[in-house]
Amino acid sequence: MVELEGALNCRDLGGQPTTDGRTTRSGILFRSDSLRRLTARDVATLLDLGVAANVDLQSEEEIAYFGRGLLERAPITWLPVHEPALRPRGERPEGEGDVLLARYREYLNEAPTAFVRAVAALAQPGHLPAVINCFFGKDRTGVLCALVLDSVGVTRDAIVADYAASAARLPVLLARLRDDPDPVVRDTIARTPAPYQDAQPGTMAALLDDLASHGGAREWLLAHGAVTSDLDDLREHLVGAPARHDVAALG
């Protein structure tokens, strides 16, 4: 975890194993819940970590209402990915089964270009290290992180575990939101059904199965307009070089 006072679900995506025996580099890509309440110390922490850009998956309405807090003045490039279909949806569950999986499938079906734009933004020169965020840091952020990690070759189990790690942070995050000074936040949390306030491994495992049916996240992104060079550059930046003994074995 990255310890911040104003965000409670922030972590580094480094150290994730890949299918070819490598790992993702630490300090390159971070994921987080809302950054609107970061303190000056938090901003300094992000800058010390080298964070150069913020891929913000919140809706225009969320940003207009909450603002960006101290990040507004920080030397971190803001990369908003505005897409109506990515608006948070927690009014009530519809139908039976995994309502979060249904929501994530809806994201992929209704807003594929938003995720492609986000991946393209991350791949541009000067935009790494970066932090990805939405409100809880588990749904929109979880889907984008899964797409990125799968596209660079991170193992299925590691992607599932990373997604599910948010579950341990949700109790303290929800407790803070229930006591938020803003009555709109308190009311929204009170009205959000419990199934939306979770992050179970099976949800992400099923979403990865969906992506696998398209050939994996890389092929899914390419089919929806991603550029091969962007995906290659992202992998080069995010995944470490093979260990020396692996290089020797290749020789």
Of 56, 54, 136, 58, nearest to 100 by C-alpha is 136
Give me the catalytic one of 100, 111, 134, 231.
134
Of 15, 9, 17, 2, nearest to 150 by C-alpha is 17
20: amino acid identity, one letter? D
Catalytic residue check, 134: yes
The DSSP annotation for the chain comes to: ----SS-SS-EE-TT-BBTTS-BBPTTSEEEES--TT--HHHHHHHHHTT--EEEE---HHHHHHH--GGGGGSSSEEEE---GGGS---S---SSS-HHHHHHHHHHHH-HHHHHHHHHHHHSTT--SEEEE-SSSSSHHHHHHHHHHHHTTB-HHHHHHHHHTHHHHHHHHHHHHHT-S-HHHHHHHHHS-GGGS---HHHHHHHHHHHHTTTSHHHHHHHTT--HHHHHHHHHHHBPPPPHHHHHHH-
What angle is formed at CA 134 by the lines to CA 132 and CA 137, rounded to 5 degrees? 80
Residues identified as active-site: 134
